[in-house]
């Protein structure tokens, strides 16, 4: 898949945002309060709407008051819009979703085109219609379908777009919580957004020889002298704990004795590597926390190598070390202008940087915005 366009309107500070030509690994850099997290949350909101329906999605995001864009006026403030133009395989997809009347009885509008031909259409208050791409039959109307539920599910057997959009995850890791032993009831299927079940996930995933080898190779790059990382059951609680072993020592030591940066890096690796072969979008907030600049560079390499056409990896940052490790086309500058979040791609902003490092150009404001302060 190649993402040609993502457009988001009407979500918190994101009044009207266009991301064109998004690289599989992309970095959103800018100051606190510019709206980087709102861009990530807007994509997660789309995912919740497509998977759960608008009513449950709004409830999950704490209601209309916490979702709407207060900078828009009148009717526009009650409407959320999303558009995605992408190439999946040999097909070009154009999908638009509008959520109207968010403050009362939410209703969805949807249109999905494949190679320019309409496959799905749904008007606000009406029932979804499925069209044959060859034009060989009348549209199929899905009657009595709830007004707040996406009909994209009915295209899942033919396209992977539904799978992509329902598998969007925003990770905001909490290293202190991730160090604690997992309970016996911890989720074994996917990493929690805050990383609190990382021990259980490691215990499950390390049965895969390739995954276990990848984790150790990357941990050795990030934490020199680290010889082994493993998850093992805790006898008394029945839960799972992470233990580490350094070169020159015999005993393993528990996670609470390791640095926050090390456990943070382990959470990021688990998230990225466990999702790399799946269809979906992985969003990571500030992956540079507590890490040495060289370790950040290695982590960027990991995320870039794990990102792909069906698994974009998008991160937020205000770290010059992370920006330095980026390619210029991967860097998006985020600003807030008149209370509205704006973005621009570094590669399309300035001229040739010559011998200037990307982070130096950023801090010198050669891109005219997106500074970390």
The pLDDT value recorded for residue 187 is 86
Rounded mean pLDDT, 349-366: 87
Q: Residue 205 and residue 197: Cα distance in Å, rounded?
A: 12
Rounded mean pLDDT, 119-145: 89
Of the candidates 195, 248, 357, 222, the one whose C-alpha atom is nearest the C-alpha of residue 302 is 222
Residue 1 has pLDDT above 70, yes or no: no
pLDDT tens track for 194-226: 999 999 999 999 889 999 899 988 888 888 888
3 state DSSP class of 244: strand
The pLDDT value recorded for residue 140 is 93
The answer to whether the Cα torsion of 354, 358, 360, 362 is positive or negative is positive
Rounded mean pLDDT, 108-125: 95
The pLDDT value recorded for residue 179 is 92
Identify whether the C-beta of residue 81 lies closer than 8 Å to the C-beta of residue 72: no
End-to-end Cα, the chain, rounded Å: 35
Least confident of 39-43, 163-167, 249-253: 249-253
Rounded mean pLDDT, 361-373: 89
Q: Residue 335 and residue 342: Cα distance in Å, rounded?
A: 5
Token pair of 16 as six digits: 């009207």
Q: Which residues contact 190 (CB under 8 A, 6 or more apart)?
A: 169, 201, 274
Q: Residue 313 and residue 322: Cα distance in Å, rounded?
A: 14
Residue 372 has pLDDT above 80, yes or no: yes
Other Cβ atoms less than 10 A from the Cβ of 163: the count is: 14
Rounded mean pLDDT, 2-19: 96
More confident residue, 163 or 247: 163
Of the candidates 100, 95, 35, the one whose C-alpha atom is nearest the C-alpha of residue 64 is 100
Least confident of 7-11, 249-253, 276-280, 323-327: 249-253
Q: Which residues contact 113 (CB under 8 A, 6 or more apart)?
A: 93, 94, 95, 119
Strand partners, 281: 168
The pLDDT value recorded for residue 84 is 97
What percent of the chain stands above pLDDT 70? 98
Residue 238 has pLDDT above 80, yes or no: no
Rounded mean pLDDT, 245-254: 86
Give residue 25's pLDDT band: very low, low, confident or very high (50, 70, 90): very high
Residue 155 has pLDDT above 90, yes or no: yes
Q: Residue 344 and residue 366: Cα distance in Å, rounded?
A: 13
Q: Residue 251 and residue 262: Cα distance in Å, rounded?
A: 18
Identify whether the C-beta of residue 204 lies closer than 8 Å to the C-beta of residue 188: yes
Q: For all residues of the chain together, what is the average pLDDT?
A: 92
Token pair of 184 as six digits: 């016996």
The pLDDT value recorded for residue 137 is 73
Of the candidates 49, 48, 38, the one whose C-alpha atom is nearest the C-alpha of residue 8 is 38
Q: Which residues contact 265 (CB under 8 A, 6 or more apart)?
A: 219, 222, 223, 291, 295, 299
The pLDDT value recorded for residue 26 is 97
Give residue 92's pLDDT band: very low, low, confident or very high (50, 70, 90): very high
The answer to whether the Cα torsion of 123, 12, 35, 261 is positive or negative is negative
Give residue 162's pLDDT band: very low, low, confident or very high (50, 70, 90): very high
């Amino acid at each position: 898949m190649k993402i040609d366009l993502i457009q988001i309107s009407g979500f918190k500070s994101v009044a009207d945002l266009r991301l064109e030509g998004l690289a599989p690994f992309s970095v959103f850099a800018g100051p606190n309060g510019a709206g980087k997290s709102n861009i990530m949350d807007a994509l997660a909101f789309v995912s919740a709407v497509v998977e759960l329906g608008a009513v449950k999605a709004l409830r999950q995001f704490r209601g209309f008051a916490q979702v709407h864009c207060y900078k828009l006026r009148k009717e526009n403030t009650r409407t959320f819009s999303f558009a995605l133009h992408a190439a999946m395989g040999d097909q070009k997809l154009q999908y638009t979703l509008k959520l109207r009347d968010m403050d009362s009885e939410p209703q969805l509008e949807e249109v999905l085109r494949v190679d320019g031909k309409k496959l799905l259409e749904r008007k606000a208050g009406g029932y979804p219609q499925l069209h044959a791409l060859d034009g060989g039959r009348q549209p199929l109307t899905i009657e009595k379908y709830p007004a707040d539920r996406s009909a994209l599910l009915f295209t899942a057997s033919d396209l992977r777009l539904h799978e992509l959009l329902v598998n969007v995850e925003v990770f905001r890791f909490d290293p202190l919580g991730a160090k604690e032993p997992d309970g016996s009831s911890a989720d074994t299927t996917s990493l929690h957004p805050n990383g609190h079940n990382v021990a259980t996930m490691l215990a499950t995933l390390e049965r895969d020889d390739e995954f276990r080898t990848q984790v150790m190779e990357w941990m050795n790059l990030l934490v020199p002298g680290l010889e082994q990382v493993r998850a093992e059951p805790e006898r008394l609680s029945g839960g799972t704990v992470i233990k580490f072993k350094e070169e020159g020592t015999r005993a393993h030591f528990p996670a609470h004795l390791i640095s926050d940066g090390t456990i943070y890096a382990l959470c990021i690796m688990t998230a990225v590597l466990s999702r790399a072969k799946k269809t979906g979008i992985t969003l990571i907030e500030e992956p540079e926390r507590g890490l040495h600049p060289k370790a950040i560079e290695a982590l960027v390499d990991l995320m870039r190598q794990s990102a792909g056409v069906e698994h974009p990896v998008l991160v937020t940052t205000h770290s010059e070390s992370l920006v330095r490790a980026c390619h210029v086309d991967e860097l998006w500058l985020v600003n807030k202008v008149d209370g509205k979040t704006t973005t621009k791609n570094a590669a399309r902003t300035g001229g040739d940087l010559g011998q200037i490092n990307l982070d130096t150009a950023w801090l010198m404001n050669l891109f005219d915005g997106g500074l970390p302060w």
